[in-house]
A and B are shown apart, each in its own frame.
Chain A
Amino acid sequence: MWYENEGKNKETVLSTKVIINRNIKGLPFPPKMSDADRENVFGMVRQAAGTLGLNFVRTDELDDTAKADLFNQFYSGYSFLNAKDSKTGFLLSKTEGLGVIINSTDHISIVSMVPGTDIATAYKRADDLAVKFEQTMDIAYTDKFGFLTSQIKSVGTGMQILMTLALPGIEKTEGAVQVLSRRAEKYDWQLIPMTHSDGLRESGIYVLANLATLGVTEEEILEGAQKIQTDIIKLENTCRKNIWTKKKILIEDQYYRAYATLRYCRRIEVAEALTLVNWLRLGQDYVDTSDADVNWNRINKLTQRVRRNYQDAGSKITRPKDKSTVRAKMIRDIMKGGQES
């Protein structure tokens, strides 16, 4: 999985995702497309795929393993993968974390994800593909509006940047989330608290997304991203340090309680697991961890696996109690240092 590689600023930034949307001239946008239009897009995309070194797959021909893989790697949501007769597809690349979604909100949605803060790499991979699509297909564009997209919010550059952040320090510091939200808005970004698919808040997890896509250059968006990202990491570090300075015993106590529960639990819910991982995150750089076998890779892997699990999202296992047992086993394995593939 791309997110298991070590990213820069991994203590705070789980991942950076760049999405670039493009549409083909002469066809309505996907929400208004007929089945014939959709097949038409498949045909054109399939042709382009060969020259781009990408592999085309139709969603309705994917087996469960392939769906689970796309889901677990954050390309796609459960309902998108399992919608009936939706005529959607993917272009998969050999590069982990890089792919294209076909006939979602736009004809072509290029998705590029990296662990940590390496936005330059995430952007370059996505943009290289976008340029190639523009060279090989007739892409909808006007000088006035830039790239035309189905969603008004992405017209222009057609680019969205989403950073997934783990901010336990900020969240536990009174007023800090508000300070951060205002700061983000100043740069025309938005901070959104993450909600799990079960409807509960994912404690400490936030997404930062750009709002402006028109009237700004790609470079300005990217530079803005770097600037605000650096600010957030600094603020989070300040908060973590401050909490530690004020409440050493409490943090150490919570750290080891969290460690023990995650290491030995037999049944655990998503919300509880994420709350516990939060304490590990908060204490990892400060607490004397010699009695615990935890490292940042394990913390991040735990966070992502708990948040994103096809087995969980799917209805194969229906009883919540069984799900929580399976989840506990997965968590114990990661805490033991297993599955370190």
Chain B
Amino acid sequence: MRCSKCGAQIGNSYARVNGVLLCENCARDLKLDDMFRRTSSILDQAFPSLGELPGVFSLGSDLDFANAKIRCPRCGTSLRDIETSGELGCIECYNTFNESILKNILKRQGSSEYMGRKPGASADIKLEAEPDVSSEEKPSKAAKETLAPEASEAKPEAKKEEKDLLEKLKKADLGTVPDDTLEEGMKQAAAAEDYELAVKLRDELKSRKGDN
């Protein structure tokens, strides 16, 4: 028997989840019990609302509770209702709760100004077609061993010495690089969004831990 996540041979202890076998490590890694609690499958909602997803809707903590008694004169919705459901009842709610609720979402959304288009007229957006990234990097079956394309260029704001370290690591025989340099490089590579290098460094580090 093999673990369906990592493919390792499974010993005596494993988890069987609805027909899927997992080794003990993977089952623990996946925090399965935690996963099972997140039952909101958003495409199953008629209208997938972010508010129903865990961690998205986090009003509340700094709500102004002096306003908790106010209700919308039109539909009767209270601030507490909005807090729990993330829903307003009608257009008038937007006037009623203006200050108290909107301050909060706006903080998260970064601005209080509406910036989108006006009704009845298209914004006339000219988007460039997205690159077909997959085919660009796809190895041809004949040459499966071809090397990686150039790693993504470092961010301009990255400090000079960081760039230097990453450049050095890219060329270095990783077997000769000390642990702490690898660790530092891994952090910097992740920060510079050079995932390819970050993954490489991490694997090197991991294989060393395995050796000991």
A residues in contact (CB < 8 Å) with B? 8-12, 19, 21, 23, 25, 27-29, 31-32, 74, 76-81, 88, 101, 104-106, 109, 117-120, 123, 127-128, 131, 134-135, 139-157, 159-160, 162, 164, 172-176, 179, 183, 188, 190, 192-201, 203, 207, 209, 211-220, 222-223, 226, 229-231, 233-235, 237-239, 241-242, 246-247, 250, 253-254, 257, 268-272, 275-276, 285-286, 288-289, 308
Contacts and interface: CB of A to CB of B under 8 A. Distances in A.
8 contacts: A10-B134, A76-B46, A153-B86, A160-B50, A194-B43, A195-B39, A215-B114, A272-B18
Given A193-B38, A214-B106, A156 B114 contact: yes
Contacts of A88: 46
Given A213-B109, A234-B133, 18 more contacts: A28-B75, A134-B120, A152-B59, A155-B94, A157-B116, A160-B50, A190-B56, A193-B35, A216-B109, A217-B117, A219-B123, A222-B125, A230-B131, A231-B193, A242-B196, A247-B7, A271-B17, A285-B138
B57 A139 contact: no
A6 B130 CA distance: 15
B102 to A, nearest CB: 7
Nearest to A232: B133
Contact of B129 (A76, A120, A188, A207): A120
A188 B110 contact: yes
B195 A235 contact: yes
Contacts of A80: 45-46
A219 B124 CA distance: 9
A212 B109 contact: yes
Contacts, number: 289
Interface stretch (B61-69, B177-185, B198-206): B198-206
Contact of B36 (A28, A173, A192, A200): A200
A222 B56 contact: no
Interface in B19-42: 19-20, 30, 32, 35-36, 38-42
A144 B103 CA distance: 13
A223 B127 contact: yes
B199 A151 contact: no
Contact of A237 (B2, B48, B119, B133): B133
Please classify the interface of chain A as helix (H, G, I), strand (E, B), loop, or mixed, using the class held by over half of its residues.
mixed
B6 A172 contact: yes
Nearest to A287: B144
A143 to B, nearest CB: 7
Contacts of A197: 41, 44
B56 A135 contact: no
Contacts of A162: 42-43, 48
Nearest to A105: B47
Contacts of B200: 242
B159 interface: no
B209 interface: no
B78 interface: no
A151 B36 CA distance: 26
B125 A212 contact: no
A238 B125 contact: no
A151 B86 CA distance: 6
Contacts of A131: 120-122
B46 A150 contact: no
A311 to B, nearest CB: 15
A78 B50 contact: no
B158 interface: no
